[in-house]
Each structure stands twice: as structure tokens, then as C-alpha cells.
Structure 1
Amino acid sequence: MHVFVTGATGWVGSAVVQELMGAGYRVTGLARSEHKVAALVATGAKVVRGTLEDLDVLHQAASAADAVIHTAFNHDFSRFAENAEQDRHVIEVLGSALQGSERPLLVTSGLLGLTRGASELEVPSPASPRKSETAARALVERGVRCATVRLAPSVHGLGDYGFVPLLIRLARKTGVSAYLGDGGHCWSGVHRLDAARVYRLALEQGVTQSVYHAVADEAVPFKAIAQMIGGGLGLPVESREREHFGWFAHMAAANMAVSSEYTRALLGWMPSGPGLLADLEHPGYYAG
């Protein structure tokens, strides 16, 4: 099977490419710079040069593939609404290239807008700012074989540059590893290599479901995350008000913890990587 992967050099996408190549798939990845092209070529994958703005390039690459995995997203949070709209448009373009065939499309989203403990069957709140899943469901209504992989808010591992490193930088800057309220609200977590395996298994299962949960640690208390960061940095761990977290307060206060029981049973997925708190014991998370 030939799979086209967007975000192929990103934190999740590069792990997906590694997983697919290791399982014998032919992979073409989207890359936007010479440096990223070189990194992708080194994996043995083929390369399509372009960005999420190059809709003709995306359509052509998707048309030439047996399956598409969309992991790319512009994470500039200062213009999140615009980026979410761009993502919705990209998903529509990828889906249009696959419409009328049985070739599957897997798109990527998160857990924001879901209730704590939600299953794969629950639909996010319409107020959720990211529109990836809404776009995917619209494609399904048009007959496209499309599904969403919902990623835990912490897709962790050494080299992580996501939300937990953001909290580490904030703790360094302010001199305290903070949590909101009593810190009892929870995040889910998944090691990046375990997350990548969900995409491969979903393809092999035939993408018969509308949603898969790439979630290993289903509910990690935010206070426990703050305590691990405080220990790693040698800083006090204290409750703080929303202002302490700035623009990140909405995420820091959110319950983003769901069940992956159905995904595990359906795909035979058994996460094998370290859990989030175990990863945060590694000194590499605090280097630099």
C-alpha cells in the first residue's frame, strides 16, 4: 500500500512514517524545506515538496496514493482560528481526491470539547475551535472512507516540543511549577510511537470506524504533571490562578481525559511505551 502523509517530518507524522516504513508500506511525505526534505529522504520515503497552502499539490499527491494520513497542522496559537479553517479546507481537498473510491483518509484531532471519560462514540462540543473532526464527518456523509484519530494532549517522548515542554518553560520562567485549582482535572497521554501504531492499525483494520483514540494514560491529574515538572526542575509546586498561564490557561484548566477501551479492543492496540509520568522522570525532558 502506498500512503501519502502530511506533516511527515513533524513530531507525530515522523513517527507515523517510521511505523509505516517498518511495516513495509510505501510512503510519500509532504515536506516544505530542504532540511525537512533531507530528513524525510533519509527514512527511505519519497517526498512531495509543498505546504498546506499548496492545495493542487495536496490533491495530486492524495490522488496518487492508496491511503492518506493527515497529521499536519499549523500550531501558531496567535492565529488558531485561521489555522483551524486552513485545516478544514485541506481535509476537504484531500477528501475530494479520494471521493468515489474506497481509499481511506485518516485525519488528526485532539480531545478538547469532549467530556471526561468520553468514548470514541461521543461527538465534541460544536464550540470546540478545531474543525478537523467536523470536516472528516462531512466527508463521510459524501461517501469518503474517512476517520479521525484523536490524540491525547500530551504525545510525549524525548524530543517532545508540545504542551508539556511549554509547561516546563513556564515553570522555569516563573520559578514555580503550577496547577489550577486543586489540580484534580486530568489530561490523557500517549507515547509518540504508540500513537503512530494506531494510524497503521486503523489502516489495516480497514478504517471502518469514524473515530479512534490514541490514548494510553487515560487520566493523569494535572497536579501530578506539575509535581513531576517541579521535581525535575527543583522548583516549588503550587496552585495558581488562570492569569499565571496566560494564553494557555484554557488548556491548562481543561479536562482532556478519555477512554480508549474501544480502540484497544477493535485494533488489538496495546501501548508499550512509557507512560507520561514515567517519561517526565527522564532528565532529558529538562535539558536546555
Structure 2
Amino acid sequence: MRVFLTGATGYVGSAVAEKLVESGHSVVGLSRSDAGDAKLRAMGVIPHRGDLNDPQSLAQAALTSDGIIHTAFGNNFDDFTGMVGTDLLALTTMLTSLEDKNKPIVVTNGPAFLGDSGDGIFDESAPIDESSYFAVRAKPDLEALQAANRGIRSVVIRLPFYVYGKGGSTFIPVQIGAAQKTGLARYIGEGANRASSVYVEDAATAYVKALENAQAGSLYHLSDGFDASAKQIAEAIGENLNVPAISTTFEIAEETFGTGLANFFSMNSCISADKIKHELGWSPQANHNILEDIARGSYKIGR
């Protein structure tokens, strides 16, 4: 299968690219620079120049592909609404290119717009929390799932807050960097709020399984079943850097991380992966958990 992959040079996308190549697929990866082109070629991926702000570049690649995996998303969490708007335009462009072709597209999202999971665990039936700071992020989710009615084998994968491993991640390096700068590993309030996680290579395997086998309109949560608390994450960072883990206020967290990330770091977000395990036979294979990896594994400073 010739697969167009957005976010191919990114953290999750590059892991997905490697799994696709290993599985025998031809991969065309979205790239914005000469450095990106070189990185993709080194992985056996064909570079395609463009970005999410250039819908025409996405349409061109989509029209010549047998399927799409969309992992790209911005990183300016202080303009969360703007990032979602860009993502939605990119997604609708690619969906239009696939209409009535019964080709697969696997779209990435997260569970934040479901709101705070409290003491529970959200499965795929959990409703959108319209009062959530992140509610706007549901729009691409709904657009992708509804595309199943337009002759598109659309699938959504919701990644947990923490995709970890290989020293990367969206959030962990930010938290480690803040602790290095201040000499303190901070958590908000009591730090009892918990969030699910998954190892990046296990996530990549799920994308390939979804591309190859998922039914149109499928929605899957990913989690390894280990839901670390914010305090545990901070303590693991503290062990790594040999700095204390301390409680802080939401206001100080806003000053440190910005409003968007402070909201992430203060909420419970626990999700169940039972559905993808049952329907696609996916299961996490990592032999360590996120706390071990932060404290003594791939994130260890000076290793």
C-alpha cells in the first residue's frame, strides 16, 4: 500500500513511518525542509514537500495514495483553537480527496475534550464535555468519523496524554526542561490527578493495524493500562535530575507552561484500550512503564 503520512518527521509520525516500512508499505511523508527530506530518506520514506497550512500540497499527496495516516498537529498550546482550525482544514482537504474511493485514513486525536475522567476510565462511548477547555478539538474527530458515510474508510485513534519512549514525547521534555531551569519538578495541587500512557512503538503498531484492518467509522483509545499520577511523574523527573518534586498552584503552572499545558497537567485523563485489543488484536509490548523510563531510562540526563 502507498501510504501518505503527515507528521512523518515528528515524534509519533516517525515511529509510525518505521513500522509501515517494516510492514512492507511504501511511505510518502510530509516534509517542510531539506533536513526533513533527509530524515525521511534515511528511514526509507519518500519526502513530499508541504505542510498543514498548504491544503493543495496535502490534496496532491492524498490523490496519489492508497491510504493516509494523519499524525501532524501543531505545538502552540497557547493558541489551541488556532491549531485545531489548521488541523480541521487539512483534514477536510484530505477527506475530500478520498471521497467515494473506500480508501483508509487514520486520524489522530486525544481524549482531552472528554473532560476530566475523575476516578473513572473513559472508553470510546464517553460523551464530549462541551465545557472543557479542549472542547474545540472534538471537531476533527467528528469530521473524520462522519466521513465513513462518504465512501471513506475513516478511523480515529485517540492517543493518551503521555506517549513516551526514546527520549521524546509532547509533554515530558517540556516538564523536564522546566525542572532543569527552575531546579524544581512541579505538580499542581496534590498531584493526585492521573493520565494514561503508551509506549511510542506500541502506538505505531496500533496505527498500522488500524490502517490495514479497521472498519470504516472505527474509534479507538490507546493506553498501556498504567495511569501515573501527576505527582508520580514529577517525582520521576526529580529522580532523574536529582531535584525535589513540589506542589505548585495552577497560576504558577500557567506562568511556567502556559494556560493550555497547565490545563493538561491538572486534569485526570484515564482511558481504556479494551476495544482495540478486542477488535484488532493490539496489545502493548513495552517491558517498562513511563515512570521507569523518565527516571532511569531514555530520558535520563547524562546517560
User: What TM-score results when the alignment is normalised by the length of structure 1?
Assistant: 0.94
In the other structure, the counterpart of 1:279 is 293
Contact kept, 8 Å, 1:217 with 1:275, in 2: the verdict is no
Q: What is the alpha-carbon distance in structure 1 between the residues aligned to residue 53 and residue 285 of structure 2?
A: 36
Give the CA deviation at 1:284. 4.4
Contact kept, 8 Å, 1:112 with 1:124, in 2: the verdict is no
In the other structure, the counterpart of 2:126 is 122
1:51-90 equivalence runs, <5 A: 51-90=51-90
Contact kept, 8 Å, 2:70 with 2:108, in 1: the verdict is yes
In the other structure, the counterpart of 2:278 is 265
Contact kept, 8 Å, 1:5 with 1:27, in 2: the verdict is yes
Give the CA deviation at 1:142. 3.5
In the other structure, the counterpart of 2:210 is 202
Give the CA deviation at 1:6. 0.6
Give the CA deviation at 1:137. 2.7
Paired letter, 1:227: E
Q: What is the alpha-carbon distance in structure 1 between the residues aligned to residue 65 and residue 58 of structure 2?
A: 11
CA deviations over 1:98-142 (Å, ceiling 9, x no partner): 111110111101120225211122243244232331321342344
Give the CA deviation at 1:275. 1.7
Change in Cα spacing, 1:32 to 1:125, as seen in structure 2 (3 Å) is same
Paired letter, 1:103: K
Change in Cα spacing, 1:189 to 1:233, as seen in structure 2 (3 Å) is same
Change in Cα spacing, 1:145 to 1:284, as seen in structure 2 (3 Å) is closer
Q: What is the alpha-carbon distance in structure 2 between the residues aligned to residue 141 and residue 75 of structure 1?
A: 31
Q: What is the alpha-carbon distance in structure 1 between the residues aligned to residue 296 and residue 39 of structure 2?
A: 26
Q: What is the alpha-carbon distance in structure 2 between the residues aligned to residue 244 and residue 204 of structure 1?
A: 45
In the other structure, the counterpart of 1:7 is 7
CA RMSD of aligned residues (A): 1.7
Contact kept, 8 Å, 1:31 with 1:37, in 2: the verdict is yes
Could you tell me the percent identity over the aligned residues? Answer: 35
Question: Is structure 2 residue 148 aligned with structure 1 residue 135?
Answer: no
The number of residue pairs the alignment matches comes to 288
In the other structure, the counterpart of 1:252 is 265
Paired letter, 2:262: A
In the other structure, the counterpart of 1:95 is 95
Paired letter, 1:163: F
In the other structure, the counterpart of 1:215 is 223
Q: What is the alpha-carbon distance in structure 2 between the residues aligned to residue 255 and residue 98 of structure 1?
A: 36
After superposing the two structures, state which structure 1 stretch, 81-90 or 165-174, moved more.
Answer: 165-174
Give the CA deviation at 1:93. 0.6
Give 3-state SS (helix, strand or coil) of 1:217's partner.
coil
Q: What is the alpha-carbon distance in structure 1 between the residues aligned to residue 222 and residue 21 of structure 2?
A: 20
User: What TM-score results when the alignment is normalised by the length of structure 2?
Assistant: 0.89
Contact kept, 8 Å, 1:218 with 1:257, in 2: the verdict is no
Give the CA deviation at 1:261. 1.1
